[in-house]
Structure 1
Amino acid sequence: MSNKELSKEESLTLITEMIGQAKRNVAKGGSFYFLLWGWVVLVANLGHYLIATFNWYEYPYIVWVLTIPAAIASMVHGARRSKNSTVKSHLDSLYSQIWLAVFVGVLIILFFMDDVNYNVNAIILAFAGIGTYISGKALRFSPLTMGGIALWISSVVAFNLNPIDQYIVGAIGIFAGYLVPGYLLRKAEK
């Protein structure tokens, strides 16, 4: 590699290409997470609602164990993507850190669910909206941005319902905020 200085135009082209590569790295395979978590959380929300409403089982929250294999699948998929990635940029790292922050926020809420009067679904929808909205802005992919807004609207609606009915709103919010944009993102990846 030579030590030749780049012209302003060459520097701008190089920076633009690096930013483009970073966006492709983040976007490529990003639909996997939205679709995986969209389906898992939608099924868990509906399952929790049905079990609680019809008293099918004493512990309706048992359906949330579905998130354990989903978390493992996410970690494995992320590790493989990271290993196969040719270029790692600041945007790649930032994107991961955004979702790590959302995850930590959700864990804190779950730990203190009694203190928030079991309105955890409404709060989790707000956190998911933040991650999805920022993802949409970072990728310049408006369906994700709109998905974040749909999750925030679902959060507001859920706060006005009892904790059990929040699971129906959660399922609808996840469908609009994760699954619809996730399938559109998958289509854009191809």
Structure 2
Amino acid sequence: PQRGETVVVTGAAGSVGSIAVQLCKSTGARVIGVAGGSIKKDYLLNKLHCDGVIDYKDTTKQTLEEQIQETCPEGIDFIYDNVGGSILDSLLYRINPNSRTVICGAISQYSGNLNQKEQSKVYGPSNYLKLAERGAEMKGFNVIQYISKLPFMIIGMYYLYMRGYVKCEEHIEIGLEQFPYALQKLFTGQTIGKTLVRINNDD
């Protein structure tokens, strides 16, 4: 993203999304985070300094579409998507001409987040014609595609972290027996930042 552009990051309070938010902010872009719940909203606004937050779980005062309209009044130039599903479809309605969408994940479509009936209805973007209307692009992202640049990226991220330009929140479960519960929390959005399991409590 470029300075002044409006960027929307979904799953913005997660391990990947929270880093994406901070890297996009560093370019001078206007960054809107999408997350669920007041705790994550507070984290995005006050710790990561998002310019706005769309809380998809709180639609009592405003629908998801109304929140998108309010936080992105001039449209969306760049979407970094970790969620997919209906949230991505709603965001595509607001894309600007020549916008870019990067697909990193689709956590809303993972089987752990769907009941048995819904699992037969897993789908990709149904609003994809907006891409044609706006001359926009959608591209998948997988770190394996950039494996040759991984050493450079690690050094760069280490520098940013040590200088305090990038923060990394961690949720740690103690004991290997907690692994299934940690995984469940990860896929149901109950944690902020990176989810880790420490084998024991020894320092």
What is the TM-score normalised by the length of structure 1?
Answer: 0.29
> Who wins on radius of gyration, i.e. which is larger?
1
Larger strand proportion of the pair: 2
What is the TM-score normalised by the length of structure 2?
Answer: 0.27
Higher relative contact order (CA 8 A, sep 6+): 1
